[in-house]
Amino acid sequence: MQEVKERKRNLNYIVPQEVILKGHFSLGSGKHTNIFFNKNLFYANPEMVCDVSLKIASKIRNTKAIEAVVGPGMGGAILSQWVAYYLRSTRVESVISIFAEKKDELWFLKKDFRKMINGKKVLVVDDIINTGRTVKGIVETVENAGGKVVMVFVVLDRRGRKSELAAPVGSLFMKTCGSWDSNNCFLCSVGIKFGN
């Protein structure tokens, strides 16, 4: 029992070093970085996703203010489900969980989801903020559907700076990360190989 309590408190146990890696990596954007969040390992471990979601829910100060949780399709949708579940466990009212989808570089909500969040106070969740573009798109999409985003919460904020979003941003981890164009990468210039 004590081991379980300790595990819930210790973020490094919940998200081990194999998930938040240091070294030389190429991001989906083509940029190079020294910190990489391995989403595949994270989402392949249901216990880790549940523990992280519980930790996020416990960090939300006024859970009664949250009526819906929204995440971007795929990983953020999984996180949205579990965070909503744990927020719901702290009160009588239900908390809905929905996800946004992307088509032609634009985020959207399906018609039923738009109706569900109209007039609701919304928490936006995601696994990582790199540039903030995804989260900003989700926030705008929610607000265009009539929802009011009261907070954004992510597992890892790579920007290491305050948010430019209208809603406050929280994170379990905040790491200032280097990010370079591939043709002007500091890590390449000093000979650090990929994956190290």
Residue 98 lies in a domain: yes
Q: What's the CATH number where 127 sits?
A: 3.40.50.2020
Measure the CA–CA gap between 172 and 42, rounded to whole angstroms. Answer: 14
Residue 117 lies in a domain: yes
Domain span at residue 127? 2-189
Place 141 in a pLDDT band, splitting at 50, 70 and 90.
very high
At 21 the three-state DSSP class reads strand
The total of structural domains in the chain comes to 1
Residue 70 lies in a domain: yes
pLDDT for residue 58 is more than 60: yes
pLDDT given at position 161: 64
pLDDT given at position 81: 95
Residue 196 lies in a domain: no
170-183: per-residue pLDDT in tens? Answer: 888 887 788 899 89
pLDDT for residue 11 is more than 60: no
pTM assigned to the model: 0.86
CB 122 within 8 Å of CB 69: yes
